[in-house]
Structure 1
Amino acid sequence: MAEQYKISAAMVSEERSYVLKVDGYSRAKALLKNGECVDSDPFSVGGHDWAVLYYPNGDGDDCADFISLFVSFESADAAEDVKAKFAFSVLDENGEPVSSYSYTHPMHTFSSKSDNWGYHKFIKRADLEVSGHMRDDCLAIRCDLTVIHDKETIVPPGNLHRHLGDLLNNKDAADLTFQVGGQSFSAHRCVLAARSSVFKAELLGAMEESYAASPIEICDMEADVFKSLLHFIYTDTVPPVLDVVMAGHLLVAADRYNIGRLKMICEEKLCSHIDSGMVATSLALAEQHGFHALKKACLKFLASPSNLEAMMASDGYEHLKSSCPSVFKELVAEILPAELKAAKDIIMTMWK
């Protein structure tokens, strides 16, 4: 009945901070040219290896006056890309982040074939050198790296119908008893009212007092039909094998209690299983209860002369003729050829 759903949610993360210390800031600046870097020792976050790349003279011609700083994804053998977010902060002499030199980068997907991401112009060297945030020619930069794991959660199929079905079968907290065809059925007032506007009016509305007595007798319905009706009300399912006869009875019951989905299921079942033996009964049912789709399907089936002859020889023909004589004018008009329009008009007025 229900389907499984898969939900991908980035909710599991692992965070780690790594401090890059550049002892001998001036020496590194003198020795490394523009485009050359120092790699930090690798560190592990989220099951992957990472490093910080430090370019004292920038990583390109357009940033030669800046320090460039990047996070490098070192797990070249990773099976999948990895999502991570990171922040770089210059630390003052007390090891605290300097807010004016702290930058947070939003989440980035690092390629499994190695990747790096960061800031070409992280900080201008001239500004850093006069800031007073270095001691003994030592620069400390903290990298806060958070790896986001996509965790696929499989949500099991809904089981409300199963729980309500158990409630019906176990009769737990049942507050109603119905007497149908010599059998007793326990049910729950609130469930019936929630599923059927007719039951709601009868059990909770102005008619509530007349239904206060127990058991409540249901006439003109077979016990097995009422049992199937209750089963649908509680579980929203019909029997696994729904035969045409039961579909007809359930269609009438669903119409009586205004259970729209059950009406559609049963009417579709009858429409798709029309034969010469059942068509007269189905047509009578459709005419008496106003099931328009079923009536249309029956008339279409009987437009064939051979089907019409077979229907007239069936057990249901006499019942159709006696209970719904007016339907024959539509039937005759349906099978007459189009050129006999005048005859059709006469026939359509015969039963007025």
Structure 2
Amino acid sequence: MASPPHTVTARGAHQFEIVGYSLIKGLAAGEFVRSGAFAVGGYRWSVRFYPGGFSPPHRAFVSAFLKITSKDARAWARFDLRLLDRATGLSRSVRRAAEPVVFDYSAPPGKCRGKRGARALMLRSELEASLTIECVVDVVSGGVPPVAPRRLRAPPSDLSKHLGELLDRQDQTDVAFDVRGEVFRAHKAVLATRSPVFMAELYGGMKEKGMECIAIDDIQPVVFSALVGFIYTDVLVLPGDLLEGDDDDYKEMVRHLLEAADRYGMERLMLMCESILCRSLDGSTVETTLALADQHYCTALKDVCLQFMSLGLQG
């Protein structure tokens, strides 16, 4: 998130000396002691020290946070939490916000926006009898702290819808197929994008130059229509009369569609056909389906057929 423009910065520093650590180190995770209040940029602040860690996952550490204490205030500030070396008087930064962040007194506790800091300030095992935390605060004015944007949920993809409409309208088609006397028009780019076989036939070395209409004699028109429809929409749609009519005709259609999917390298469509055939096995079709699975290297379908036959023999 980009920070707002700022023109003036008020800086302040506060040292929080923690003495008698042995007296407070038994505090549970989440319990704290606080420094005295100090003012920077027209707001009141304090430092919170958690000798047992900010939360249970941080029990191995001590934690420290800068908190805004001006009631109902919302400030935009940078901060730098430092540990002061008592021997040299020098400090080293432990947690620093390089860009301004929001401190919101009214933020829900779980959001932690009213306080910012270091959950792992230092290991508890390394802490001596006392320590001094120095906090430097830069309050930025001239810009308004941003309100967190509302999360918007993207609508479902409608790409398949638009491509399906493109196929229905036949806009700017540039290839035609004569499938047993029935003509289908389509778009080379769409077919080639979805099928490596169509890519080779329409753009590669297999390209048949000068042919306005490609003849296909070994696929039924209804099967080719379902194949092309799947290429455009990624949805398997079978003719309504098959869904409502003879179950054997429906299974036969799926078997032919699996063969067409294998021919054109449509792996996802093959898997969908396999799944349908696995769920619809019966004694009259299992041998035919097994031969189909073996011919087209459908391992899962073959295993289901063999298991079905084995159970039938046992029965």
Range class of TM-score, shorter chain = 0.5 to 0.7
**Shift of residue 188 of structure 1?**
0.8
Partner of 1:166: 165
- In structure 2, distance between residues paired with 1:259 and 1:274: 23
d(CA) in 2 for partners of 1:290, 1:52: 73
Alpha carbons 1:161, 1:236 under 8 Å: kept: yes
The aligned amino acid for 1:302 is M
- Structure 1 residues 143, 70: closer, same or farther in 2, change over 3 A? farther
Distance change >3 Å, CA 246–CA 288, structure 1 → 2: same
Check whether the contact 2:176–2:183 (CA below 8 A) recurs between aligned residues. yes
8 Å Cα contact 1:19/1:142 also seen in 2 = yes
1:303 to 306, 310, 313: 310
Secondary structure of 1:254's counterpart equals helix
Flag the 1:14–1:143 CA change in 2: closer, same or farther, 3 A.
Answer: closer
How far did residue 257 of structure 1 move? 0.8
CA–CA distance in 2 between the matches of 1:207 and 1:285?
27
Alpha-carbon distance in 1 for matches of 2:224, 2:67: 72
- Indicate if the aligned counterparts of 1:72 and 1:117 stay in contact, CA closer than 8 A: no
SS at match of 2:173: coil
Q: CA deviation at 1:142?
A: 7.1
Deviation at 1:203, TM superposition (A): 1.1
What is residue 183 of structure 2 aligned with on the other side? 184
Deviating above 4 A after TM superposition, structure 1's stretches of 4 or more consecutive aligned residues are 13-20, 35-40, 69-73, 113-123, 240-243
Partner of 1:258, secondary structure, is coil
The percent identity for this pair of structures is: 36
* Counterpart pick for 1:75 among 52, 72, 77: 72
Question: Larger Cα Rg: Structure 1 or Structure 2?
Answer: 1
1:112 aligns with 2:106: yes
1:197 matched to 2:196? The reply is yes
Structure 2 distance, partners of 1:142, 1:150, is: 18
Aligned partners of 2:44 and 2:70 also within 8 Å: no
Distance in 1, Cα, partners of 2:5 & 2:70: 15
Correspondent of 1:289 among 269, 293, 296:
296
User: How far does residue 19 in structure 1 lie from its aligned partner after superposition?
Assistant: 9.5
C-alpha displacement at 1:39, in angstroms? Answer: 9.9
Q: Please report the TM-score for the alignment, with normalisation by the length of structure 2.
A: 0.58
**In 2: Cα distance, 1:16 partner to 1:117 partner:** 20
Are 1:143 and 2:141 counterparts?
Answer: yes
Once the two structures are superposed, residues 202-231 of structure 1 have per-residue CA deviations (whole angstroms, 9 ceiling, x without a partner) of: 111122135x31221111211111011001
Kindly tell me: are residues 70 and 268 of structure 1, through their superposed partners in 2, closer, same or farther at Cα, counting changes over 3 Å?
A: closer
CA distance in 2, matches of 1:197, 1:285: 22
Alpha-carbon deviation of 1:172? Answer: 0.8
User: Are the counterparts in 1 of residues 68 and 104 from structure 2 also a CA contact under 8 Å?
Assistant: no
Among 234, 256, 269, the alignment partner of 2:232 is 234
- Cα distance in 2 for partners of 1:302, 1:36 equals 81
Q: CA contact under 8 A between 1:229 and 1:253: conserved in structure 2?
A: yes
1:279 match: 286
Alignment check: 8 A CA contact 1:175 1:189 kept: yes
Q: Unmatched 5+ residue regions in structure 2?
A: 11-35, 47-65, 80-96, 109-113, 118-132, 244-249
CA distance in 2, matches of 1:289, 1:183: 27
Which amino acid in structure 1 is aligned with residue 190 of structure 2? Answer: V
**Comparing both structures, which one devotes a greater share of its residues to helix?**
1
Q: Distance in 2 between matches of 1:281 and 1:53?
A: 81
What is the root-mean-square deviation in Å for CA atoms of aligned residues? 4.0
The answer to whether the 8 Å contact 2:77/2:140 transfers is no
Q: Aligned partners of 2:203 and 2:45: how far apart in 1? A: 75
In structure 2, C-alpha distance between the alignment counterparts of 1:194 and 1:249, rounded to whole Å? 23
Structure 1 gaps, min length 5:
1-9, 21-34, 41-50, 56-68, 77-81, 89-102, 124-140, 309-352
Tell me if the contact between 2:68 and 2:105 (Cα under 8 Å) persists in the aligned partners.
no
TM-score w.r.t. structure 1 length?
0.52
How far the C-alpha of 1:237 sits from its partner, in A, is 1.5
Distance in 2 between residues matched to 1:16 and 1:71, nearest whole Å: 20
